[in-house]
Structure 1
Amino acid sequence: MMRIMLFLATNLAVLVIASITLKLLGVDRFTGQNHGSLLIFCAVFGFAGSLVSLFISKWMAKMSTGTQIITQPRTRHEQWLLQTVEELSREAGIKMPEVGIFPAYESNAFATGWNKNDALVAVSQGLLERFSPDEVRAVLAHEIGHVANGDMVTLALIQGVVNTFVMFFARIFGNFVDKAILKNEDGHGIGYFVATIFAELVLGILASIIVMWFSRKREYKADEAGARLAGTGAMIAALQRLRAEQGVPVQMPDSLTAFGINGGLKNGLAGLLMSHPPLEDRIEALRRRG
């Protein structure tokens, strides 16, 4: 599950490009000092980026990871994979998602899609080769848990909300710099433009900290779902196997990390932009849950 640097960069790029385009088209001037109109204006563009990303998430995941969708199983392993996902999906009460394998040595898996009945679940070749069947089943159950919990949609909506307020407060800041500091009374000047872009970059990073905090909370919920569907022991064993492989770099695109089983490690301030809690904390949470 995925969304750190690439998602952050993509989201900020959407905001910055939107700001530049709207400035060049002169749309900004229509919002002026009317904060109600400005908020509606920002909401439209704030949600647009996150919802577009959500609707094309399956396509982007397939393209960026090289995932091969299993339509007709060619081996008994692919047959087992399809049967296991079908069984877990039925138990979770969702429609059978697409199932794929992506070529990567590191152990990882992800789920994505615009709704829980039109999703994609994929696992890496490395995970299939090194994990036991019970551990692979637990990983799949974790991803099915993300789908059943509606985490993709919820995360996109939260991103849309924070995008809205990033654009809103950035424009208020830009207007303050332009009018109060630079004393520009003739429409929006260059000070407004530069200050708005700067504020969007700074506020965008702060907003991503909020989104990543939510992502970490949902990871515990997906672990609980995995434990219910595949057994607590199997879920703990899968997380322990991931911890044993922490020296292997996670190379899955960051736009998918928020919904991957393995999100990598970050310490210090970088931990605020971590999409996943530390594996030790996730294992301990499952043990306490029993």
Structure 2
Amino acid sequence: MGKRIFYFLLTNVLVLLTISIILSVFNVGNYINAQGTIDMGTLLIFSAIVGFTGAFMSLAMSRWMAKKMMNVKVLDPNGSLSPVERQVVEKVHRLSRAAGLMHMPEVGIYHSPEVNAFATGPSKKRSLVAVSTGLLQEMDDDAVEGVIAHEVAHVANGDMVTMTLLQGVVNTFVVFLSRIAAWAVSRFVKEDLAPIVHFIAIIVFQIAFSILGSLVVFAYSRHREFHADRGGADLAGRDKMTHALQMLKAYSNRIRGGEDTAVSTLKINNRKGMSAIFSTHPDLDERIQRLQSR
């Protein structure tokens, strides 16, 4: 936990430092002109710098951060591997070739009782597919292949880059709109209170718009999971992909009532109704149903 917090803080410090440097270079930090009105062009540039810098830096560092935070052991295909490690590498490479990837993802295993797997990286050329020891222990061979196929589909679909672009656009509009709204509110108070009200209003509106913006990001995230399920079914076969989801559902039901972190493979989420709009991943029953109805 301490290591994860350290790298999280390190990432944010680097992001803030980079943003400060870029704003200084382009001299767009002050978007309110001498007349007390907003220069919309300057504000838009300011918002885009703030919105996209963090998103792109997180993407650029994603593979490195995942290895450090999760203590991922990267498996060398040409090195000495155990039979289980060799099988994981072969599955990832075989499915990656089937997906048309020109460069094989790095393959990793990390020690954790969690049933978990993930794909990350800044591009298809520099991607990582990693699985937990918990997943390899809990699932049979067909289910493991289905999970890996799902993660390879994320890489093949370019989901990491697309999500970054979407997050950057959402961040830009959050920064842009929150500052316009804060400026408008500050016009209704005394001049000596305006700077304080403006500062507080920026925080309030940025939180509010961030929540609204996150709904867009969550909706796309759920869409890409369905897409990755279909991709996984095309790569490993519909039966294996469906079997993987069914095993995940059985596992989640078995440990229900435990900590949420123990059920994180493919981001298992059984929220239904209105609460589902705050989920990054769709309900397993719906995912299974969609695959079976293909």
Indicate whether 1:215 and 2:255 are aligned.
Answer: no
Instruction: Find 2:288's aligned residue among 275, 283, 287.
Output: 283
How far, CA to CA, are the matches of 2:196 and 2:156 in structure 1? 48
Query: Would the aligned equivalents of 2:174 and 2:209 in 1 still touch at CA under 8 Å?
Result: yes
Report the alpha carbon displacement of residue 75 of structure 1 after superposing the two structures with TM: 0.6
Q: What's 1:40 paired with?
A: 45
Q: What's 1:125 paired with?
A: 133
Report the alpha carbon displacement of residue 146 of structure 1 after superposing the two structures with TM: 0.3
Q: What's 2:75 paired with?
A: 70
* Letter paired with 1:202: A
Matches within 5 A, 1:257-268: 261-267=266-272
CA 1:26–1:50 in 2, change beyond 3 Å: closer, same or farther?
A: closer
Query: Would the aligned equivalents of 2:242 and 2:291 in 1 still touch at CA under 8 Å?
Result: yes
TM-score (norm 2): 0.83
Q: What's 2:160 paired with?
A: 152
How far, CA to CA, are the matches of 1:151 and 1:122 in structure 2? 16
Give the number of aligned pairs.
267
How far, CA to CA, are the matches of 1:286 and 1:123 in structure 2? 23
Tell me: higher relative CO, structure 1 or 2? Use CA pairs within 8 A at least 6 residues apart: 1
Query: Would the aligned equivalents of 1:236 and 1:286 in 2 still touch at CA under 8 Å?
Result: yes
Query: Would the aligned equivalents of 1:250 and 1:262 in 2 still touch at CA under 8 Å?
Result: no
Q: What's 1:273 paired with?
A: 278
CA 1:120–1:252 in 2, change beyond 3 Å: closer, same or farther?
A: farther
Structure 2: tracts of 5 or more residues without a match: 1-7
Report the alpha carbon displacement of residue 158 of structure 1 after superposing the two structures with TM: 0.2
Q: Secondary structure at the match of 1:56?
A: helix
How far, CA to CA, are the matches of 1:267 and 1:225 in structure 2? 24
Query: Would the aligned equivalents of 1:106 and 1:249 in 2 still touch at CA under 8 Å?
Result: no
Q: Secondary structure at the match of 1:118?
A: coil
Instruction: Find 2:185's aligned residue among 174, 177, 181.
Output: 177
Report the alpha carbon displacement of residue 144 of structure 1 after superposing the two structures with TM: 0.3
* Letter paired with 2:41: G
Report the alpha carbon displacement of residue 36 of structure 1 after superposing the two structures with TM: 2.2
Q: What's 1:59 paired with?
A: 64
Report the alpha carbon displacement of residue 264 of structure 1 after superposing the two structures with TM: 3.3
Deviates more, 1:271-280 or 1:58-67: 58-67
How far, CA to CA, are the matches of 2:207 and 2:69 in structure 1? 25
Q: Secondary structure at the match of 1:117?
A: coil
Deviations 1:33-73 (A, max 9, x none): 12122112201111011111100011121222222111234
* Letter paired with 1:216: R
Instruction: Find 1:109's aligned residue among 114, 117, 136.
Output: 117
Instruction: Find 2:209's aligned residue among 187, 203, 208.
Output: 203
Indicate whether 1:190 and 2:196 are aligned.
Answer: yes
* Letter paired with 1:251: T
Root mean square deviation, CA, Å: 2.7
How far, CA to CA, are the matches of 2:89 and 2:227 in structure 1? 24
TM-score (norm 1): 0.84
Q: Percent identity?
A: 43
How far, CA to CA, are the matches of 1:241 and 1:249 in structure 2? 18
How far, CA to CA, are the matches of 1:211 and 1:128 in structure 2? 30
Deviations 1:156-199 (A, max 9, x none): 000000000000010001101111x214289x611111101111
Report the alpha carbon displacement of residue 74 of structure 1 after superposing the two structures with TM: 2.5
Query: Would the aligned equivalents of 2:269 and 2:282 in 1 still touch at CA under 8 Å?
Result: no
Q: What's 1:251 paired with?
A: 261
Instruction: Find 1:227's aligned residue among 222, 229, 233.
Output: 233
Q: Secondary structure at the match of 1:27?
A: coil
Query: Would the aligned equivalents of 1:227 and 1:234 in 2 still touch at CA under 8 Å?
Result: yes
Q: Secondary structure at the match of 2:107?
A: strand
